[in-house]
Amino acid sequence: EYYGLQCPGLETAGDISREEVLSTFREFYVPNNMTLVVVGDFDKREIIERSRETFGKMVRKPVSRLEPESYVDFFGKTFTGTLSPLIGSEAAIFICYPANEELLANRYPLRLVGQYLSDLLYKTIRVEHGLSYSPEAAFVAGEDLGFLCASADVDLEDMDKALELLQREIDSLAASPLDERKVEITKRGLLLRLVQMGESNAEYADYYASNLEDLEHGGRFADNGEQIEIVTAKMMHEAAAKVIHDGRKIVIINEPTLTYTQFYLLMLMLPVLLLAAGWWLYKRRLRLRRIE
């Protein structure tokens, strides 16, 4: 059930059995599948004791790995949705390109491409055309797959124009060399955000936890500042050219089920329909009485 509507095929918590929960727990809740990240001024022995109290005695066993999900069937397709929100006047549009393992090996150029593209979209779609309040782009990546995505929230009547502008700015990254000055501004901005990132122990713990792949593959956490500094405009352009390919493009369009105009018209029509239905039932009962 979603927004009060029945959605056949939608998996919810009610579809999960107790045995499935226990089976997943037994399979994945094992020491070799866990990493505990603790940041702060603490006594190491106390942390170990607290950890034992929290997790109990856990038996060593082989780690189960989930097979990475294949997105090949999604390439080159457009997906639309109409249930979120149920009522509204805007559509959320996304254009995404998957990155393969070769590009994930050095994700810093694409990370900067995402920020560079985000700045382009802000200037074009918000400042010049006024179609969206917060168009943005980013490169998001996991262990096996990453996506370069651009998105915008736009009025329904501006959706086609916004998609056209999104695509134009994306294509420009692969079609011609990037502006050296803008690349440096992008790098400085990202470095500044990294410097301002850590304001609490919890934020640092979250940072380390989200970058465990560096530790697993390289034996240490990567120096983000150092890696960003060495990225050049040429590296960003080459990475963008490898990712941006029409045959791999995924377009997602999420529209409301009803616009506010349609909703208000429906509300205005509802009393009329109820009166008409009541009148019809009244006339029908009169006819039945006459027949009797």
End-to-end CA distance of the chain: 45
Res. 4 pLDDT band, cuts 50 70 90:
very low
pLDDT of residue 152: 93
Residue 263 has pLDDT above 70, yes or no: no
What phi and psi values does residue 76 have, to the nearest 5 degrees? 70, 15
> Percent of the chain beyond pLDDT 90?
29
Res. 100 pLDDT band, cuts 50 70 90:
confident
At 264-289, the pLDDT tens digits run 777 777 787 888 888 888 777 877 77
Residue 273 and residue 103 in contact, taking contact as beta carbons nearer than 8 Å: no
Residue 1 has pLDDT above 50, yes or no: no
Q: Cα angle at 253 between 176 and 158, to 5 degrees? A: 75
Q: What's the burial of 220, exposed, middle or buried (CB within 10 Å: 0-12/13-18/19+)?
A: exposed
DSSP 8-state code for residue 177: P
CA distances from 238 to 86, 118, 162, 174, 214 (A): 41, 18, 26, 7, 23
Res. 2 pLDDT band, cuts 50 70 90:
very low
* Measured distance CA(182)–CA(119) in Å, rounded: 9
Residue 67 has pLDDT above 90, yes or no: no
Point out which residues pair with 5 in neighbouring strands.
Answer: 2
What phi and psi values does residue 98 have, to the nearest 5 degrees? -75, 150
Residue 174 and residue 244 in contact, taking contact as beta carbons nearer than 8 Å: yes
At 229-255, the pLDDT tens digits run 999 999 999 999 999 988 889 998 888
pLDDT of residue 241: 92
Contacts of residue 1, defined as CB under 8 A and 6 or more positions apart, other chains included, come to: 7, 12
Residue 43 has pLDDT above 90, yes or no: no
* Measured distance CA(205)–CA(57) in Å, rounded: 24
**Residue 187: count of CB within 10 angstroms of its CB:** 22
At 166-208, the pLDDT tens digits run 999 999 999 999 999 999 999 999 888 887 777 788 888 888 8
At 126-179, the pLDDT tens digits run 999 999 988 999 998 876 778 999 999 988 889 899 999 999 999 999 999 999
> Percent of the chain beyond pLDDT 70?
86
Average pLDDT, the chain: 82
For the domain covering 90-248, report its CATH number. Answer: 3.30.830.10
How is the chain split into domains, by residue range? Answer: 16-55, 90-248
Residue 89 and residue 259 in contact, taking contact as beta carbons nearer than 8 Å: yes
